[in-house]
Structures are given as structure tokens and as C-alpha cells.
Amino acid sequence: MGSPTAKRKQRSPIQRVIRWSPWHYRFWREIARWCYEQSLHNPAVVAADSGFPAHRQLLQSYQQIRKETLEIALSGRLPANHEIMQQQRTLYEFDRKVWGMLPLRGYGYDYPANQALIPSLRSFLQHHPDVVSAAVSLFPPGKVLRPHKGPFKGVWRYHLPLYVEHFGDGRSSCELMIDGQNYYLQEGEGFLWDDTFMHSAINRSSQPRVVLLFDVFRKDQPIWLIGMSWIFLWVAQIWQHVQNMRQRAGLQ
């Protein structure tokens, strides 16, 4: 996947203990991940029609969604992902290339001003509360997303590419490696997967790539996990409110 242009900081044993102690979110994140992994057994990539049937409505409105979204995404005004969420800063520090992100909904917490910029998506989100997160992602040329795992197995991750360069032979600039396998996403084709599997991404083109990212609440969870998932979402909503995320997440 290419080597980073900047080395990651080496942390002392004391710093590592602090980062993985009960007073840090990483401690609870790993406990929650373990609970989900004991009960949910699925492949890394799943059929969108089965895990997220409503994605067909998105595809039916694809051209309008694409037009409205690209007017915003390619304006050069998207906030930086790591400035919205400090927890994402290591993904920026890996290569120092800014990953643009416009949140529309975050774990059930709406961003009304951002949604108003893309009316076709706002209408879809209003009718689909099971889409607990939605965002416009702008991956700059040459950006490398280091291998990592998502924190929450209670959702499926859905990608809908809007602006992608095609290299031929099925390859594209929207390149993902998930659980050791490469996938090349194409414009207008939805892709559903479980981002708690190890994954990374790269844009090998000279132009940005724009993708819609959704998190879709999983309906195949046992009842006790559904309760745990809603608690997770509730805490995430409170955290975003306390952090005044709406102010930081607006267009620049």
C-alpha cells in the first residue's frame, strides 16, 4: 500500500498504558469489539441488497445525488476529518495529506446545515433512520489510509463512489484492501462491508475521489446486542453535542 512519508511517533511504556487504560475510550472500544465478535460472524464483504435493501433508492436517484454532492465536495471547502474528530488525527499524520469530510449524520446525531446542502440526500436520510451515519468523503490524490479496524460492529459500512478515476482492467482510484483482499470500487455501484475487519485504502490517481459513506444499523444482531448498540449510539450523540461538533463540521 506504499510507505508513509512521516513516521509515527514512538510512545513510551507509560504513554501506552495511559492510552489503553479504563479511563480511555480505546479500552472500552476493545471490550465492545470483543463482545460483538463473539456473537456476530460474517464475511468482510456482504451483498448490499441483503444488508441494506434501501440502497436501491439511492441508486435510483444517483445522478441527482451525484450532481448535488459534487458541487459541494469539489468546492475546496470541506473540513478536514482530523480537525472534526481528534481521534482521527493519526490517519492524517500517517502521510500528512488532508482527508476532507462533510458529516451529514453521525451515529444518529444530525448535521442539519450540512444536510440542507444536499437536498436529495437529506430526504433519503429523513426516511431512513437506520442509516445512523452519513458523510461525504473526499480522498486527495496519493492519500494512503493506513491499515486499521473500525470501532463498532453494530453497523455495516456502505460506500457509494461518486467521482472516481478508472484505470482499466476493473481497477480504479477507489481502492480498498479488506481482510487481505483488494477491491476497486466503481462510480454508481454500492459496496457493503464490515469495517471492523482490518482494512486500508489508497488513491493512486492525480485527482481526488469522492465517495458517500454510510453506516447502516445491523438487523442481524441478537436482542442483547441491539440494546448495547443503542447505548453506544446514545453515548456517541451526547459526545458530539458536548464537543460542539456541528460548528467544527461546517463548510470552511
Residue 7 counted as domain residue: no
Determine the Cα–Cα distance for residues 239 and 153; give it in Å rounded to an integer.
19
Determine the Cα–Cα distance for residues 162 and 187; give it in Å rounded to an integer.
5
Listed range (27-36, 163-172, 199-208) with the worst mean pLDDT: 27-36
Helices (H), 74-140: 81-84, 89-93, 112-116, 119-127
Amino acid at 241: H
Determine the Cα–Cα distance for residues 17 and 202; give it in Å rounded to an integer.
31
Residue 8 counted as domain residue: no
**What 8-state DSSP symbol labels residue 77?**
-
Could you tell me the CATH number of the domain that includes residue 71?
A: 2.60.120.330
Give the chain's domain count: 1
pTM: 0.87
- Alpha carbon separation from 214 to 71, 105, 108, 113 (Å, rounded): 19, 9, 11, 18
Residue 42 confidence (pLDDT) = 94
Residue 97 counted as domain residue: yes
Provide the domain limits for residue 139.
Answer: 13-248
Of 58, 69, 181, nearest to 128 (Cα)? Answer: 58
pLDDT digits (tens, 9 = 90+) for 170-203: 999 999 999 999 999 999 999 999 999 999 999 9
pLDDT digits (tens, 9 = 90+) for 95-131: 889 999 999 999 999 999 999 999 999 999 999 999 9
Tell me how many degrees the CA angle 217-220-226 measures, rounded to the nearest 5: 60
